[in-house]
Homo-oligomer: A and B are copies of this chain.
Amino acid sequence: MIKKLVIFGVGLIGGSLAMSLKKANYCNTIIGCSRSVESLQKAQELGVIDDYTLDPIEAVNGADMILLAVPMGAMGSVLQSIKGHVEADAVVTDAGSAKASVVAAAREVFGEIPPYFVPAHPIAGREKSGVEAAIVDLYVDHKVIVTPLPETDAAAEQRVIAMWQATGADVESMEVEKHDQVLAATSHLPHVLAYSLVDTLSHSDASDAIFHYAAGGFRDFTRIASSDPVMWRDICLENRDAILASMEEFQANLQILHQQVSDADSDGIMETFTHAKAVRDDYMKKQST
């Protein structure tokens, strides 16, 4: 149970958590805090939060759970704004899509990682963003990865895990570096590829016809290119090293396939496609069980 939850940045992620915890009766009070009074007012009108304040110090006063659900680039300044005002029994966690950069921001602000700081990442999203897009069941059966550090207090970690479990999420722990590598490969790289593909085709001399004849496969393949550009730019900047490594692995692999096609290497192409289909079919089988 949480007495007072403060959410910095009440958008899709923070808003959906608030809705879910309210439904589960897991919080007495949920307070929103951000720099945008309009979005906070909207969140309150929608019943997502109980109240709000623009003052970070007032927000964290008496709070036992503090969630940072602001854009990745704003994590450091929010931490700075609450430094010295976090209650002794409070836990601070975040919902950023990359973890090393948040940990670095915390280390910079506090000089060391506070034991009450528990980095976490709910793997859920929609193309839409903002509190209007928040839904009560966003986290049901979705994975949340908690990336505790050696400095992290075990009880603090447990409270963050319990909060996310109350939303119906499946919570697992992982090291920071592993998280960033895995997410770069499974989420950040596909987004980068989808954006780049649509961008490439838009500059083709046949782009009108290309989009006119694009069918179902294309629609699914490019769905994630409709995601929020600001959020994904921030992710590219905040998880830069892991994303670059993933891009380079992919580029090297694609170059091999290019060579196989160029060589009309029937067996080589067949091996690549057959292997990929088997892996993808196996993935889907595990998803459905």
Give the interface centre of A204, A221, A258, A264 by most chain B CB atoms within 10 Å: A221
A213-B183, A269-B236 known; A221-B220 Cβ under 8 A: yes
> What 1/0 mask marks residues of chain A from 150 to 189 whose CB sits below 8 Å from any chain B CB?
0000000000000000000000001000100111011101
Residues of chain B within 8 A of A229, CB atoms compared: 270, 273-274, 276-277
CB distance A190 to B218 under 8 Å? yes
CB distance A276 to B193 under 8 Å? no
CB distance B277 to A215 under 8 Å? no
Chief secondary structure at chain A's binding surface? helix
CA distance A230 to B281 in the complex (A): 16
Copies in the complex: 2
Residues of chain B within 8 A of A198, CB atoms compared: 276-277, 279-280
Pick the contact of A215 from B143, B249, B251 — CB < 8 Å? B143
CB distance A206 to B194 under 8 Å? no
A193-B254, A201-B185, A276-B199 known; A283-B211 Cβ under 8 A: yes
Residues of chain B within 8 A of A206, CB atoms compared: 178, 181-182, 185
CB distance A270 to B195 under 8 Å? no
A210-B185, A226-B284, A244-B261 known; A250-B197 Cβ under 8 A: yes
